[in-house]
Amino acid sequence: MQCGASYGLDEVLSAPGVPHCRCGGIIKPDVVLYEEPLDETIWRGAQEAVAEADVMLVGGTSLSVYPAAGLIQLFSGEPLVLINKSATPYDSRANLLICGSIGQVLSKVVERLNG
Ligand SMILES: [Zn+2]
What burial letters (b/e) apply to 83-113, b meaning 16+ CB within 10 Å? Answer: bbeeebebeeebeebbeeebeebbeeeeeee
State pLDDT tens for residues 45-81.
999 999 999 999 999 999 988 887 889 999 999 999 9
Query: What whole-number distance in Å separates Cα of residue 12 and Cα of residue 23?
Result: 15
> How many angstroms is it from 6 CA to the middle of ligand 1?
8
> How many angstroms is it from 59 CA to the middle of ligand 1?
33
State pLDDT tens for residues 37-53.
888 898 999 999 999 99
The H or E element spanning position 43 is: helix 40-52
Using alpha carbons only, what angle is made at residue 100 by residues 98 and 101, rounded to the nearest 5 degrees? Answer: 125
> How many angstroms is it from 30 CA to the middle of ligand 1?
13
* Residue 30 pLDDT exceeds 70: yes
Q: Coil, helix or strand for 80?
A: strand
Q: Coil, helix or strand for 37?
A: coil
Is this structure's pTM higher than 0.85? no
Q: Coil, helix or strand for 83?
A: strand
> How many angstroms is it from 26 CA to the middle of ligand 1?
8
pLDDT band at 14 (very low <50, low <70, confident <90, very high): confident
> How many angstroms is it from 22 CA to the middle of ligand 1?
5
